[in-house]
């Protein structure tokens, strides 16, 4: 799951817009943007933020610069625990040709010191949109952890990790009935990247990557 390989697999899968959302870091987003340009794919810079409640929050940003600034703020709220590459694997930062620039020494999987409320507010301060990730899962899902969907934070969307669960989740959860449902591959391996089975139709004229990316954020922010 290196930046250039993700962009290449996205092209093979016929995807047109792809978000990179590493756990608690945006360090590989610049390389991803360059790699996507080579394949004609619209990149979205983001993060899968683990808040202090151990909930995963999916964060997407309008521009790369916004995401990088947000990543810098998240760095201030990390709990630094040395990574064990023999257990969790190496955490490389790469360039657009997948050459290693540096290695993150501290584990990125553990929760930050940002609460769900604080993390949500911080994303919005940097012009991004965020919503609870994979709420259909018992691990790191907001509903499983809190016992209810956090509707007090005025989310406009939620993510599911499987396409066959939407109707069942909506019946169980009236709090999400009127929200945007985002079904993502949430891929941690290249072969887990899904094709365009679940999609949004976005305006793309006058075409530019920034225009379409902003249309995506606009759509996700609407009720």
46 and 114 in contact (C-beta within 8 Å)?
no
Give the tens place of pLDDT for each residue, 122-134: 999 999 999 999 9
- Which residues contact residue 147 at a Cβ distance below 8 angstroms, ignoring those fewer than 6 apart? none
- The helix or strand, by DSSP H or E, that contains position 142, with its residue range, turns out to be helix 142-146
Nearest-CA neighbor of 18 among 38, 44, 57, 47? 44
pLDDT at 162: 67
State residue 142's pLDDT score: 94
Indicate if the alpha-carbon torsion angle 51, 102, 35, 207 is positive or negative: positive
What is the CB neighbour count within 10 angstroms for residue 99?
A: 11
Q: What is the distance, to the nearest Å, from the Cα of residue 7 to the centroid of all Cα atoms in its chain?
A: 15
d(CA 113, CA 181): 28
H or E segment at 45?
Answer: strand 42-50
How far is it, in rounded angstroms, from Cα 36 to Cα 119? Answer: 28
Comparing C-alpha atoms, which of 109, 137, 10, 127 is closest to residue 73?
127
pLDDT of the chain, 223 residues: tens digit per residue: 999 999 999 999 999 999 999 999 999 999 999 999 999 999 999 999 999 999 999 999 999 999 999 999 999 999 999 999 999 999 999 999 999 999 999 999 999 999 999 999 999 999 999 999 999 888 999 999 999 999 999 999 999 886 555 555 655 788 898 999 999 888 999 999 999 888 899 999 999 999 999 999 999 999 7
- Report yes or no: 175 and 220 within 8 Å, Cβ to Cβ: no
- Please give the pLDDT value at position 163: 52
Report pLDDT for 165.
59
Q: Is 3.40.50.720 the CATH number for 3-221? A: no
Nearest to 134 by CA among 126, 144, 123: 144
- Which residues make beta-bridge pairs with 116? none
What does the pLDDT read at residue 161?
81
Enumerate the domain spans of the chain: 3-221
**DSSP helix/strand/coil, 58:** strand
């Amino acid at each position: 799951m290196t930046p250039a390989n993700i962009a290449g697999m996205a092209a093979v899968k016929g995807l047109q817009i792809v978000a990179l959302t590493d756990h608690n870091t945006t360090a590989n987003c610049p390389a991803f943007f360059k790699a996507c340009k080579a394949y004609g794919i619209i990149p979205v810079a983001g993060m899968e933020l683990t808040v202090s409640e151990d909930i995963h929050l999916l964060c997407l940003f309008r521009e790369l610069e916004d995401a990088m600034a947000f990543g810098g703020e998240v760095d201030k709220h990390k709990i630094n625990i040395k990574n064990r590459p023999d257990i969790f694997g190496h955490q490389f930062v790469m360039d657009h040709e997948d050459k290693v620039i540096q290695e993150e020494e501290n584990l990125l999987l553990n929760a930050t010191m940002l609460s769900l409320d604080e993390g949500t507010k911080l994303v919005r301060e940097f012009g991004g949109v965020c919503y609870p990730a994979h709420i259909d899962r018992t691990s790191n899902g907001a509903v499983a952890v809190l016992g209810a969907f956090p509707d007090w934070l005025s989310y406009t969307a939620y993510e599911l990790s499987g396409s066959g669960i939407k109707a069942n989740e909506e019946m169980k959860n009236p709090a999400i009935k009127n929200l945007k449902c985002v079904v993502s591959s949430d891929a941690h391996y290249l072969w887990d990247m899904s094709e365009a089975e679940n999609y949004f139709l976005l305006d793309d004229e006058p075409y530019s990557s920034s225009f379409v990316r902003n249309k995506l954020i606009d759509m996700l922010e609407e009720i």
